[in-house]
Each structure stands twice: as C-alpha cells, then as structure tokens.
Structure 1
Amino acid sequence: MLSTAPAIDAAIAKATSDPYHNLPRAVFLAATSNDASLYEGKGGWARLPAEPVSNDVLEKEGEPITADSIFELYSATKLVAAIAVLQLVEQGKMRLEDDASKYVPELKDAKLFKGFDEDDNLILEDNATPITIEMLLTHTAGFQYFMFNPDVVKIAQKLGVHPLPNAEGAVREWVTKMPLMFKPGEHMVYGPNIDWVTLAVEAVSGKPLELYFKEHIFEPLGIHDMSFMPDSSQIFMAFIDEEDPSKPLAIRPNTPLSSTQHFGGAGLKGSPRSYLKILRMLLRGGELDGVRLLKKETVDLMFEDHLTTDQQRQELRVFGKDLFDPATRRATEPSRDLTYGIGGALTGKDLATGRGAGALTWSGMANTYWVVDREKDVAFVVWTNVIPFACQPIHDLWFDIETELYKGLA
C-alpha cells in the first residue's frame, strides 16, 4: 500500500466535500509497472441534482463516482489515436515522414489562410509544403483550434462547417474544408491535426476509427467501456461560472458529441480504470498482461523530443505553462524543458511535485489529466469532468495529491 494514501484520501475528500462550489467529483488512480493498483482514490458524485441540495438529499439522489464511471475524455482521446498511428507505422503501412496526402487526398488541396479582404472574403493561398504524418502527430502542421483563434470560427461560418470537428452530426468535411492557419512545419499550434491523421488510420486500415480502436487497442487490453458512441451511464458535466466562480456549479449532461463520423482529436468516453490500462501498457514498454500493442522501441519514440525548433518548444511552453504540471500555476515563467513527444507533452526536470523528467502527459478539455512517468515508474490519472479547462480547484487538488504520490514512492 502507498504510505501516503491516507493523505491523498483526505485531500480528495476535502476537495469534493462541497460538490456545488468546489469539485463535484475527483478520481485519482496510480499504477506502476508491477502494481496495477498502487493507489485508487475517489470522492464526490457521478450524477447529482442540478441545484444545490442538502447532504441528506444528495445521499439519497446522488450517484457516487467510481473508478469505473464513464467520463468524457475530450483530448485524452489523442493518446489512443497516436497509438493507432504508431501501430500502422510498425507494420510498415505508413511512415512518420510520409506526406500525409498519400492517405488523405484532401491535404493536397489544403489552403493557407492569409486573412480577409475589404469585403470580408477569405484570402487563401496554395500550400507548397508537404504535411507529414509526424507534423500532424506533433501539432506542427499548421491547423488550429477555434478556441485559440477567433478567425477560425469566422472561417468555419464562411465555409459552412462546424468549428468543432467532433460536434454532434460530424462529417468528414468539418475537418477537410478548413485551411491551414500557419505554414506547415514552422509553428507548434494546437489544433485538429490528430483529426486529420486518424483519417489516414481509417484509409490505411480500411476500418472506421471506432472499430479500429476496439479491435487493435481496447479489446487486447480488456477494455470494454471505451467508445465514441453515446453511453446512457455517462456522468454529468459540471460547469464553473467563469465570471463569478462563487456561484454554484451548473450540473447537467454533457452536450452530445458525434456518433457518426469520428476523429482522433476528441470524442471517446470511458472510465479512469480503463484509461490507466493504456498508460500502464506504455509504462511497461508496449505490453500489458502478456499482450503487446507496441514494440519497446516504438514506445521509446513517444518519449523523444519531436519538435524541431526552439521556437516550437517555446510556443508549447507558453501554451502549456500551467496545463501539464500543477506546480507551474504558482510560477511566473513557462514550464522549463517542456517539449512534445508523440501522444502528449514531455514535462521537464525538477518538478516541485517530485515527478520525473520527461514524463509523457496531456489532458482533455474537461480536466482528464494523465501522466506516464518512466523515470519514477508510475502512471496516473486525475479526472474530474469539470469545465473550464485548467480551473484552479483541480490544480489545487492535483498539486497536493501528486506531491503525496511521489512522497509515497520515495
């Protein structure tokens, strides 16, 4: 048993004691190479009344959270997508350096956005730079999410597509009609790049993404609760009022995502326990319970720096300043040494929590953080399904419980 488990239990209990004003729930699971359940902690509610109620009513009407509750993953989906791509690379069916238009023809016609003219029409230029599989995996291709650039919303409206590729009723064109916002290879810009690359997975494998994930990743790992499809047992989402955080959280079912066309950037639903299996497979070098999904050298590749310029690294550090290490929220400078591997960011050395150098990490928009730390031989998830992303209550809890985890490992 982890020696610091009681301290972690207490921190989770405190953070979830007032589910309408702090965190409605939190799940923290950790495992090592040889211990599938080093720590399991949870507190709060999977479902609860929309309006604040007394504890007595909450006990009667609320549904407690568990490690098997079904969460919205959002961008935690991207790690699964990266694994799928690397499986096909291992099989020789594609290469990281390949021009991705070989598999996704629409990339040949991708235009470069240059602005709007005096009549508010799009100014688009031809793109002469090949977009590689690796660029798409590392967010250096030049596509950008709408939440980081208001021009993307305006462009989508003019092109008649939805700015969120994974929204309900998605079609392929919601990704393929959108232009590049930057020249490929020049910048690290977070966007629907993984959505593009999983169109290549579908083309190469000949299978819809849902089926590919199921047959080649989930079923081999014994995962039966992870899918893009709607799940009636999915937990409620909680929304903090960003203008007045003192107000009670809004509690409601999440807005449905696509059950038709699927992309690897977001959309999966599943449990923390199942996701930890994926992380532990990576921690063990691509194998879990006698089943190998990736070669060790392929997993090693995920933990290498795949950004090619200091500018790209600095762009990631500014973007991810307080997203991938809870301690940096309390600092003034961007995360030191932060860079990007395959499947997620690689956090730096000497983190205040005790995390090892070069740990692979990412999250989803609703605060589903995950970490694979090979130096300290531990993988863990910190999940809440609260919006907005990187909100202070989750960072406060995350810092405390990660610190206690590493104390217990020392």
Structure 2
Amino acid sequence: MLSTASAIDAAIRDATADPYTGLPRVTMVAATRDGEVYRGFGGWAQLPNDPAKLEAEGVPLTGDSIHGLYSSTKLVGTIAALQLVEQGRLSLDDDASQYVPELKTVKLFKGFDDKDEVVLEDNTTPITVKMLATHTAGFAYWLFHPHAGKVAEKLGIPTTPYDRGGKRSDLARMPLFAKPGERFSYGTCIDWLTLVVEAVSGLSLEEYFQQNIFRPLGITDISFKPNPTQICMAYEGDGGKYQFGPSPLMNLEANFGGSGLKGSAPSYMRILRALLRGGELDGARILEEETVELMFEDHLDGEQQHTSFGAFGAPVVESFSRKAGKPLPDMTYGLGGSLGGEGVASGRGAKTLTWSGLANTFWWIDRSRGVCAVFWSNILPFGSQRVYDLWETCEVELYKGLS
C-alpha cells in the first residue's frame, strides 16, 4: 500500500471534522496498473441541516457510498463511441447527422433582435462525430456561455436534458453558439454522441453501458437508474456553511451521456484502471491499446480551438496546483477529457487525462507515473476552493508515496 496513506487519511479527517463549516465529505481512491494503492474517505453520506441532530440522524460515508457522477459520465459515453469506432460501425470523421437526423435541423445562434427575441440561422457546416467527442461542435452549457440560459428561457426549453422530464426534442431545439469546428465550447456534445451510440448499436444507453463496459469490468453499482442509497447533495451557502438536501432527480425517461450516472468510487476506478492498462482489466478488454493511445493525443485543431480551451480551463488551473493561473504547457483536449500535467506542483505527469463532474467529482489517469485516481465530494458549487485545497494536499502526498 501507499507509504503516505496515513498523511492522506489525516488530511481528509481534518478537513471533514466539522461537516457544516469544513467539508461535508470526501472520497479518494488511487490505483496503479497492478491494483488499488489507496482508499480513504471521511464525512457523511446523509446529514440533517441541524448540527445538533447529526449523531442521531446522520449516516457516515463509506468506501462504497453511491455518488452522483455528473459529468464524469462523459468518459463512459466516449468509451462507448470509441468501441463502435473500433468495430468499424462508426468513424470519427462521419457526419453525425447520418445517425441522428436532428443534427441537420439544429440552428446557429446569432444574437437578439431589437425586441430582445432570439435570432437564429441555419447551420451549413456538418457536425462530425469527432466534433461531438471533443466539444467543438458549438453546443454550450448555460454555465459556460453568457446567453445560453436566456436563449433556453426564450425558447421555452430546459438548459440541459438531464433533469426529470428532459426530452430529446428539447436537446435538438437548443441552438449552436459557435460554428461547428470553430472553437472548444463545453456543452451537450456528449449527449449527442451517445445518441449516435444508441442509433448505431440499437440499444438504450443504459443497456449499452451495462453490456459493453460495466459487466465486462465486474461493475454492478454504476447505473442511470435511481438508487435509494445515493448520498445527499451538499450546498455551500452564505458564510461558507453547508446545507443539505436530496440529490436532484435526474431524467427517468431518457438517458444522456453527458450526465446522470451514479455509482461508487471503487467501481469507477475499475474503468480508469482499464484505461491505465491499455484497455484491459482482469482479462476483460473494453478498448484496444491503439484506441486508448488515441484518447491521450491532442484532438484540438488549430489555434482558435486551443486558445478557447485554454480560456475554459484557466480557472481550474488557477485554483489547483499552479497559482499563477497560466495554462499548463501541455494543456489540450484528448478524447474523454483534458490533457495536461507538465508543471503541476504534485509531480503529476505530462499528458494526464482528466475531467470532473459538476458536484466536484474529479478523476485523472497519469500514464507516465502509472497511477489513476478519483477525488469525489458531491458538493456544490463546482470549483470550491476548499475542495481544491484538500485535493492538492492529497495529490501531493499520493505522488510522494509513489516516488
């Protein structure tokens, strides 16, 4: 096991000692190609809002507690699409509308007219599978585009399809906010990508994930289906104090690859370990080695895509490990997540593949140092400095223990 495990345990224990003013919870799991080297957790799975009732009503976190994955779902969706590419049933260069016809009808947002109404025009640029896989098709989440929320309100549709009642037709009515291929724009691209997966495979997304990724890896507790044991959501409020409530109900009628899975950190670690090992774990292969290599390559095209991605990632870089806030020299986007690591204070290796979910569910795969890890909290808002600070402390100790 990791020589610095006790230091990580102590950091998590101290950070979660008071779940109302510190961190409510943290789970960290790390593994090498040969197996798990660290599993630690602290805090509570369920908490009352009254601190005086914590001991009577609180439920402590366990190593197998069920978290909401949020955008950590996107890695699984990308793996699914790449499996179909391997089988020759799909190409990254394909026009995705041949599989999902609604992509032909998606409009391009141009602004607002003098009556403050949405101005749309036809999109004439084909959206490829690769654009969907790299978030360069032009779709945008409301959190990351100044007009996306207002546009959704004007059009009378949800900002994302993940909430209960969200429909595929709503996804199709949300316009592009950039010309396809023009820039990196974080949004619903992986939702569209997994519609392609459903169309090509003939399976629902839940069925596809279970049959082709989870069951082969021996995973039994990751699913889109509701799980009554899922941990609560923690919301950081005024003065830094946390409030607690049920995790938001996700879409029960349709599943989308951008968000919605729930499961345990050790199970998700099996996916990361398979990728760390070139696509295979315990005799089960989910991707060929050549395909895994492809995931760790730069897939952004041209200066504008790279510049726009650098601007998108700068807040995380500024908050974690590089206080100057400058993009990492090797920072770009691969397939399934961002790439970067050169110069990170912990000693993380170059071209580490990493991403997160909205509720601070971070993961990374560092092939040069031979380690992968998750650091999950299920607290909002995203980008909590307290989470970043503990994450950095734990990662530094992790890499120290690997030396």
2:385 to 374, 380, 392: 392
Kept after mapping to 2: 8 A contact 1:306/1:340: yes
Report the Cα offset of residue 151 of structure 1.
1.9
Deviations 1:352-382 (A, max 9, x none): 1110110000000000000000000001000
1:252 to 231, 236, 245: 245
Kept after mapping to 2: 8 A contact 1:26/1:43: yes
Kept after mapping to 2: 8 A contact 1:324/1:361: no
**Percent identical across equivalent pairs?**
56
> Which sits farther off after the overlay, 107-116 or 375-384?
107-116
Deviations 1:266-324 (A, max 9, x none): 01111101100000010010001100010000000000000012222222222112436
1:50 aligns with 2:43: no
* Corresponding position of 2:67: 71
1:112 aligns with 2:105: no
Kept after mapping to 2: 8 A contact 1:16/1:44: yes
Cα distance in structure 2, aligned partners of 1:229 and 1:50 = 27
Kept after mapping to 1: 8 A contact 2:317/2:326: no
- Per the alignment, in what secondary structure is the counterpart of residue 68 of structure 1? coil
- Per the alignment, in what secondary structure is the counterpart of residue 245 of structure 1? helix
Kept after mapping to 2: 8 A contact 1:287/1:293: yes
Letter in 2 for 1:229: K
> Which sits farther off after the overlay, 361-370 or 144-153?
144-153
1:195 aligns with 2:191: yes
Letter in 1 for 2:361: T
Alpha carbons of structure 1 residues 81 and 324: separation in structure 2 relative to 1, 3 Å = farther
* Corresponding position of 1:306: 299
Cα distance in structure 2, aligned partners of 1:92 and 1:201 = 13
Letter in 1 for 2:23: L
Letter in 2 for 1:297: E
Cα distance in structure 2, aligned partners of 1:256 and 1:329 = 36
Kept after mapping to 2: 8 A contact 1:69/1:235: yes
> Which sits farther off after the overlay, 200-209 or 335-344?
335-344
1:348 to 332, 341, 344: 341
- Per the alignment, in what secondary structure is the counterpart of residue 104 of structure 2? helix
1:27 aligns with 2:65: no
Kept after mapping to 2: 8 A contact 1:321/1:328: no
Cα distance in structure 2, aligned partners of 1:258 and 1:114 = 30
Cα distance in structure 2, aligned partners of 1:348 and 1:325 = 13
1:375 to 368, 379, 386: 368
Cα distance in structure 1, aligned partners of 2:18 and 2:303 = 44
Unaligned runs of 5+ in 2: none
1:268 aligns with 2:261: yes
Kept after mapping to 1: 8 A contact 2:317/2:323: no
Alpha carbons of structure 1 residues 325 and 402: separation in structure 2 relative to 1, 3 Å = farther
Kept after mapping to 2: 8 A contact 1:327/1:353: no
- Per the alignment, in what secondary structure is the counterpart of residue 30 of structure 1? strand
Unaligned runs of 5+ in 1: none
Cα distance in structure 1, aligned partners of 2:270 and 2:27 = 15
Matches within 5 A, 1:56-135: 57-135=53-131
Kept after mapping to 2: 8 A contact 1:358/1:373: yes
* Corresponding position of 2:323: 330
Cα distance in structure 1, aligned partners of 2:51 and 2:303 = 49
- Per the alignment, in what secondary structure is the counterpart of residue 67 of structure 1? coil
Kept after mapping to 1: 8 A contact 2:318/2:326: no
Cα distance in structure 1, aligned partners of 2:201 and 2:246 = 34
> Which sits farther off after the overlay, 171-180 or 325-334?
325-334
Letter in 2 for 1:113: F
- Per the alignment, in what secondary structure is the counterpart of residue 80 of structure 1? helix
1:151 aligns with 2:144: no
Aligned residues: 403
Cα distance in structure 1, aligned partners of 2:59 and 2:282 = 32
Matches within 5 A, 1:1-12: 1-12=1-12
- Per the alignment, in what secondary structure is the counterpart of residue 121 of structure 2? strand
1:181 to 171, 177, 181: 177
- Per the alignment, in what secondary structure is the counterpart of residue 214 of structure 1? helix
1:235 to 201, 211, 231: 231
Report the Cα offset of residue 335 of structure 1.
3.3
User: TM-score, normalised on structure 2?
Assistant: 0.97
Alpha carbons of structure 1 residues 201 and 251: separation in structure 2 relative to 1, 3 Å = same
Letter in 2 for 1:292: R
Kept after mapping to 2: 8 A contact 1:321/1:329: no
Cα distance in structure 2, aligned partners of 1:402 and 1:193 = 30
Cα distance in structure 2, aligned partners of 1:126 and 1:313 = 26
Letter in 2 for 1:3: S
User: TM-score, normalised on structure 1?
Assistant: 0.96
- Per the alignment, in what secondary structure is the counterpart of residue 369 of structure 2? coil
Alpha carbons of structure 1 residues 117 and 327: separation in structure 2 relative to 1, 3 Å = closer
Deviations 1:5-38 (A, max 9, x none): 1111110001100100111110110001012x20
Kept after mapping to 1: 8 A contact 2:347/2:396: yes
> Which sits farther off after the overlay, 60-69 or 222-231?
60-69
Cα distance in structure 2, aligned partners of 1:46 and 1:106 = 40
Deviations 1:215-243 (A, max 9, x none): 111111111111111111000110011xx
Cα distance in structure 2, aligned partners of 1:324 and 1:205 = 38
Cα distance in structure 2, aligned partners of 1:326 and 1:344 = 18
- Per the alignment, in what secondary structure is the counterpart of residue 311 of structure 2? helix
- Per the alignment, in what secondary structure is the counterpart of residue 220 of structure 1? coil
Letter in 2 for 1:336: P
